[in-house]
Amino acid sequence: MKALRILILALATMIASATSAQAVYNSSGSRCGTIESNGTVRNSSGASAGKFDNDGTIRNSSGASIGKIDSDGTIRNSSGSSIGKLDNDGTVRNSSGSSIGKVENDGTVRNSSGSSIGRAQGIPREWVAAYFFFFPFY
């Protein structure tokens, strides 16, 4: 019986850690959603708004592909056309190569003027860039 309780506790812990979500905040500091470790994006009400797949595919709430993030940081729309890029230093560029913002190491997201437009800690930078600049799920 004790072994069964330990097993159940271990499974519950694994499930809880596998579904942990990181909050995403807007410019006023209000929580506007979450992104789970498996890539599921939820809006502020907790409803599924989309998903970032491990292969870089970005999906809407219906599961349809709406874009992709390439391994070099290029962000593409559903047609495969480049709509932007995340540089190694966190700079976010539009399809013309102009800087439109930055995702800083601490999760702060800034627009091209340097003003904070949000925050998302513990989430891959590519997902944060796509979320705030190209596919606003909130």
1 burial (CB, 10 Å; 0-12 / 13-18 / 19+) is exposed
CA–CA separation, 70 vs 137, rounded Å? 19
In a domain, 111, yes or no: yes
Amino acid, single-letter form, for residue 61: S
Residue 13 placed within a domain: no
Tokens 């992709």 sit at which residue? 68
pLDDT tens, per residue, the chain with 138 residues: 554 445 454 444 444 444 589 999 999 999 999 999 999 999 999 999 999 999 999 999 999 999 999 999 999 999 999 999 999 999 999 999 999 999 999 999 999 999 999 999 999 999 999 999 999 887
Domain tally, the chain = 1
Is the residue at 28 inside a domain? Answer: yes
Dist CA 56 CA 34 (whole Å): 18
Residue 12 lies in a domain: no
Residues spanned by the domain of 55:
21-134
The model carries a pTM of 0.83
Which candidate, 12, 31, 14, places its Cα nearest to that of 23? 31
Instruction: Determine, yes or no, domain membership for 1.
Output: no
82 is a domain residue: yes
Q: Has residue 97 been placed in a domain?
A: yes
